[in-house]
Chain A
Amino acid sequence: GAGVSQSPRYKVAKRGQDVALRCDPISGHVSLFWYQQALGQGPEFLTYFQNEAQLDKSGLPSDRFFAERPEGSVSTLKIQRTQQEDSAVYLCASSLPGIPNNEQFFGPGTRLTVL
């Protein structure tokens, strides 16, 4: 497709369940970012990949959060033992490397609700 796609678009989980959120970046985009957007807030950085290498995971809120991009394309954000505070929209973005062409293109997001 032409843009960044994310699946599922909506996910409802019971507290304690594990979830996996998928991101398909734009073809050829080397950089991939995950952000978390809580209700009424701006997006907050979670983690960053360049190809398959996870170069920055400083924004992951706890060790229950794990992200991977094994072949340098599709990425999965996994949340183990979900808690209510994990409820948010999870946004994925991809970009080309280098300045000034590294505009981040965002996907529609996955809205996670933890009951």
Chain B
Amino acid sequence: AQSVTQPDIHITVSEGASLELRCNYSYGATPYLFWYVQSPGQGLQLLLKYFSGDTLVQGIKGFEAEFKRSQSSFNLRKPSVHWSDAAEYFCAVGLMEYGNKLVFGAGTILRVKS
């Protein structure tokens, strides 16, 4: 069955430090992968997506992610975190044969300390 694992429930980083959020997926076909961010009381906002082509994808707010098929991973990175990045981050795989319904991981809560 399709699944997404985000191993880290909480991560705390200092403002200005680099960030990497881990995501592993289980899916039999070519995956379509997404990272969303959710601030308290807000809906989900798409940070970036991978469909095909270059395995390093750039997103909004200075985020990037790298698709590694051999590791079934799609880790999210940012070179320098800002206090406003504190939020919950969700990795998801899109199931194209089902109209692109999304299977989400459990999320990683990012805390930024000044």
Contacts and interface: CB of A to CB of B under 8 A. Distances in A.
Interface of A: 4, 31, 33, 35, 40-45, 48, 50, 55-56, 59, 91, 93, 95, 99-100, 102-109
Interface residues of B, number: 26
Contacts of B56: none
16 contacts: A33-B101, A33-B102, A41-B107, A42-B92, A42-B104, A42-B105, A42-B106, A42-B107, A48-B99, A48-B101, A55-B99, A93-B44, A100-B32, A103-B49, A106-B43, A107-B43
B41 interface: yes
B42 interface: yes
B11 interface: no
Given A33-B101, A48-B98, 13 more contacts: A4-B43, A31-B99, A42-B104, A43-B90, A45-B101, A45-B102, A59-B101, A93-B44, A99-B51, A100-B49, A106-B44, A108-B41, A109-B43
Interface centre among B32, B52, B104 (most CB of A within 10 A): B104
A41 B102 contact: no
A50 B44 contact: no
Nearest to A47: B101
Contacts of A56: 98-99, 101
Nearest to A42: B104
B99 A50 contact: yes
A40 B103 CA distance: 16
A43 B44 contact: yes
Contact of B90 (A40, A42, A50, A108): A42
Given A4-B43, A43-B90, A99-B32, A104 B104 contact: no
A88 to B, nearest CB: 13
B46 interface: yes
Contacts of B103: 45
Interface string B86-114: 00001010101011111111110000000
